[in-house]
Each structure stands twice: as C-alpha cells, then as structure tokens.
Amino acid sequence: MSALQVAGIVVATLLAGGALLAPGQRGRAACALGALVLTPVLLIAQVWSSDQLGVLREQPLVAAGAALGGLVAVAVATWGLRRRPTALPLVALAVLPLRIPIEAGGASASLLVSLYLVIGAGVLAWAVPVLRRERRGGWEAVDEHESERDDGLGRPGALEWLLTALIVLFAVQAAYSSDLGTAAEQVVFFYVPFALLFVLLARLEWTRGLALRCLGVVTVLALVLVGIGFYEYVTRTLLLNPKVIASNQVEEYFRINSLFFDPNIFGRFLAVVMLGVAAAVLWTTRRRIALAGVAVLAVLWGGLVLTLSQSSFVGLLVGLAVLAALRWGWRRALPVALAFVVAGVGFVVLAPQVLRLDLGSTAALDNATSGRYDLVSGGVELAVREPLTGLGSGAFEREYRAELDASSDRAVAASHTIPVTVAAEQGLAGLAVYLALLVAALSRLLRGAGRSPARAAVAAAFVALIAHTMLYAAFLEDPLTWALLGVGVALARPHAVAGEAAEKPAGAAGSASSTRPSSAPAPEPV
C-alpha cells in the first residue's frame, strides 16, 4: 500500500507542476483538474482507517450528507467566480489564515477548509470552460486556437520550474521516509492545493484597484483578528490551542494568538499585512491616507507585540529594511540597517543577562531561544547522517525523537530553521533546489519592484517571510508563501496592467486615453 501511496503523491505533484509548466491553456487546465480530483482521493485513502473518520464510516448517510454539502458549496462558489473572476483573490485572501478546528474520534485537526473550497471553485471556474472551449465570463478567451496558446501565466521561468522540482522531489523522497504519513499529508494539504492557488493568482491581470481592494481585505481582517487578540489579553483567555493556553498558565507572560493556533504564525500574518500598509504609506502623496495608514500600523503593532513572537519582529524589521531600500535606494537604507544590526549584536554581547542569555552555556542558549538551539543542532546531526539524500520527506520529528530521545511533549515537527529541516529530510539534493528557488524567487520579485508600491510590498513581505522561516517552521507549507509568489509573478510580468484605467472596458479606456492631454500624468502604478 505504501508504494501505491508514494506513486499517488508523486503523480499529484506532477499534475500540480503541469499546471505551472504545461505550454498551453488546455494542458494547464487539464493538469489542474487532474490534481484537484486526485488530491481528495489520496486524502481519503490516507485517513479512511483513522479514528477521525470513524463516525463517517459507521454512518454513511452522514458521510453522504457532508460530501453533498461540500459539493453544493463548491458549485455555488464556482458559479460566483465564473461570473466575477477578480473576486478570487479577495475571497482567497480573506480566508487565507483561517483554520477550522475539526474534532472526531477523540482527535482534532486544524484545516484550511475554507481556502480549499475557494481553490477548488477557482480551478473549476477556470479549467472547465477552457477544456469545453467556451467563451464567456471574465476569464481569458478559449476558442479552439486560443486554448493552445499561453494564458496569463506566460512562459514558465526558473521560479516555476524550481517550484515544481521541489514538490516533486519531496514526493519522491517520501519513498524512503520513516514517516510516509506526514509526507503524504504535506503533499495533500499543502503543496498541491497551494500550487493551484499560485496558478490562479498568477494568471490574473492585477490592476491598481484590485491590489488596493486586496490590501483592504487583509487589513480589515488583521484589525478584526487583533481586536480578538486584545480581548484575549484583557480577559486572559485564549479561544484556541490548548498548548498555548497551558503555557500561559505556567509562564510569567501571556501570548495571544487570536483565531490562529500559533502565536508565531499569527505574528507572521500581522507582519506581512503591516508591510503592505507601510508600502501604501511610503508611496502615497495624500496626507489623509498616510495618517490613516500610520494609525492602522499602530493598532497592528500592538497586536504583534502581544504575540511575543520574536521571529515575527525580526521578519518585520527585515521587511521594513527592504521597503526602505526599494523606496529610497539601497545606498541610503543599508547604513541604517547595518546600524540596527550592530546595535543589536552589541546589546547581546554587552548585556546578555537582560535576555537571560549565558553565551558560554548551551543550555542557556536553548532556554533563551525557546528550545530552538537544540532543535537546530539536532537537525544538523540528522543531516550529517545522510548528507546526499536525507532521511526522507516528513521524517524530521520521528528521526529526531528516535535519535536524540526528545521528550514526548516537545514540538519537534521541524528544526525551526527551514534550511536545516530541508537538509535533514532531503539532503544536499533538496537543499540545492531550495536555495535555487530562493534565488529565483527573489530575482523575480525584487527586479524593478521599487517602481511600484504593490510590487514593493509583495517583495518585502516575501523577504520577511523568508527571514521568519530562518527562526520558525513552515515555508511552502504556508499559503502566504504561494500567495505572495503568485501575486508577485503576476505583477512582475512586462505586460502587467499598471493603471486604474485598465479595469474599464476596452472602448472606455481607449476613449479616455484619446481625450487625455499628452501632458497629463500617467495613472499611478500598481
């Protein structure tokens, strides 16, 4: 059964990669549909015998009702997205961070159910008409000849090839993993659906208006989530995550996580939103917008502080440095950034007792870094065992516990430093692809990003996310990564729409351009 399972997840990743790399619309659409159909089949095969599905196995009518309800929800969402394709990024971003706790059979899991429904509806709204050669709605024209041309994704570049290589390699290396179940879950829950999300976002035409509406959606969502976090702090009551609740009861401090299950992931989300708002403030010439943005940043900063997420603070500072460099130039921003780094290092060296840090004690280092020191050093030891091929995808936790005798209550699903996790699980082969992916992504997102506030925001947020993953888990397992890459790729296209006028019908846009004086300023870029 394991060989069949490995074959299934390899095929699923190949289909997801085909959605990125196939030469024509119909090829990409067919691969996307194939991945969309195969993924739930693999999921059901993976968890069918588990306790979580015990109720559904024993009550087939309940299972049929749940399946029917899901299909109806997807059908309604597909109809809506078919009529209004530009609603896809708004809805996807609105549900991007929301995980729904599902309990069954005495076990619980936090799933991105809403996001999966949006991705499924988006793929159906795009791919089915392409394969049926229909021409209607807002998606690209798809007659018999046009369906074989490149669609909005354009010709795939190094980034798309490396994304495909990384997820396919991950699936292949699951074959010798000691924890095939974890590897399969990562493919089914993260890599395949998020690759489809990347395709859906990257193929859209992004106008200034659409970018601003997306920023508005995530900003309002962040403010609501921070409001919930303030309530948690005032009442000293967390709504979710029993582990954090227990930690808050025995520690001197109190960490909020709002509707997230992890304060660090909540902090990462807030940092990304703050960078988007900061970009709007830095590039705007309107005083009211700038003042409103500063007020929003103050509220979000309050929420970020209460998460006590050190990795999120670092990510935010790195992202702000990138924004400053894109706005005013690297020569002006670099000295300021170096000054902050020197000041931080000096503070650690001269006053380590403030951080409860003993530079000569590994135990103190581990305590000051919340266990990350041991995880990283242990991950390096695991990577040395099989340096070329690694221990197998998803095997970090099981191998760490077996090799280093970690306590059962300690979170060791990853080393909290993504390169170390990749090196331990996938060896030099996976590490090389991962590093090449970072280079390709940064090259695509940063080149020319200073000419556009939207591009600058996406590039800074992605760099901040990378910095966060150096201190915490989840890179390609986070939908934020794929969303930022998808939007960034769309905005970086040479023919990307740059003005508000592009949202108008072709005739209206042409009429407007013909009547505008030649000396009039061009529309503000995205």
Give the model's pLDDT for residue 69: 82
**What would the two tokens of residue 21 be?**
């790399």
**What would the two tokens of residue 200 be?**
């859906």
**Residue range 213-236: mean pLDDT, rounded:** 94
217 pLDDT more than 60: yes
Give the model's pLDDT for residue 147: 40
**Residue range 425-454: mean pLDDT, rounded:** 95
Give the model's pLDDT for residue 140: 46
Nearest to 195 by CA among 419, 476, 403: 476
Percentage of residues in the chain having pLDDT higher than 70: 74
Give the model's pLDDT for residue 279: 96
Buried b (16+ CB within 10 A) or exposed e, 85-124: bbbbbebbbbbbbebeeeeeeeeeeeebebbbbbbbbbbb
Give the model's pLDDT for residue 506: 35
Give the model's pLDDT for residue 211: 93
Q: Are 455 and 526 in contact (CB under 8 A)?
A: yes
Most confident of 253-262, 287-296, 515-524: 287-296
Report helix, strand and coil shares of the chain as percent, to nearest 5. 70, 0, 25
Q: Helices in 253-411 by DSSP H: which ranges?
A: 263-283, 287-307, 310-328, 330-350, 362-368, 372-385, 396-404
Three-state secondary structure of 101-151:
EEEECCEEEEECHHHHHHHHHHHHHHHHHHHHCCCCCCCCCCCCCHHHCCC
In tens, the pLDDT along 117-164 reads: 999 999 999 999 998 875 444 444 333 344 444 455 678 899 999 999
415 pLDDT more than 70: no
Tokens 């996807």 appear where? Answer: 92
Give the model's pLDDT for residue 3: 84
Most confident of 112-116, 238-242, 411-415, 459-463: 459-463
Give the model's pLDDT for residue 341: 74
185 pLDDT more than 60: yes
Q: Are 55 and 234 in contact (CB under 8 A)?
A: no
Q: Are 284 and 525 in contact (CB under 8 A)?
A: no
Numbers of helices and strands, H then E, in the chain: 22, 2
Q: Give the model's confidence band at 523: pLDDT under 50 very low, under 70 low, under 90 confident, else very high.
A: very low
Cα(146)–Cα(127) distance, integer angstroms = 14
522 pLDDT more than 90: no
Rounded (10°) angle between helices 263-283 and 310-328: 20
243 pLDDT more than 70: no
Compute φ and ψ for 100, nearest 5 degrees.
-100, 120
270 against 54, higher pLDDT: 270
Least confident of 19-33, 265-279, 330-344: 330-344
Q: What is the mean pLDDT of the chain?
A: 81
Cα(459)–Cα(450) distance, integer angstroms = 10
Give the model's pLDDT for residue 175: 93
Chain-centroid distance of CA 148 in Å reads: 30
Q: Give the model's confidence band at 502: pLDDT under 50 very low, under 70 low, under 90 confident, else very high.
A: very low
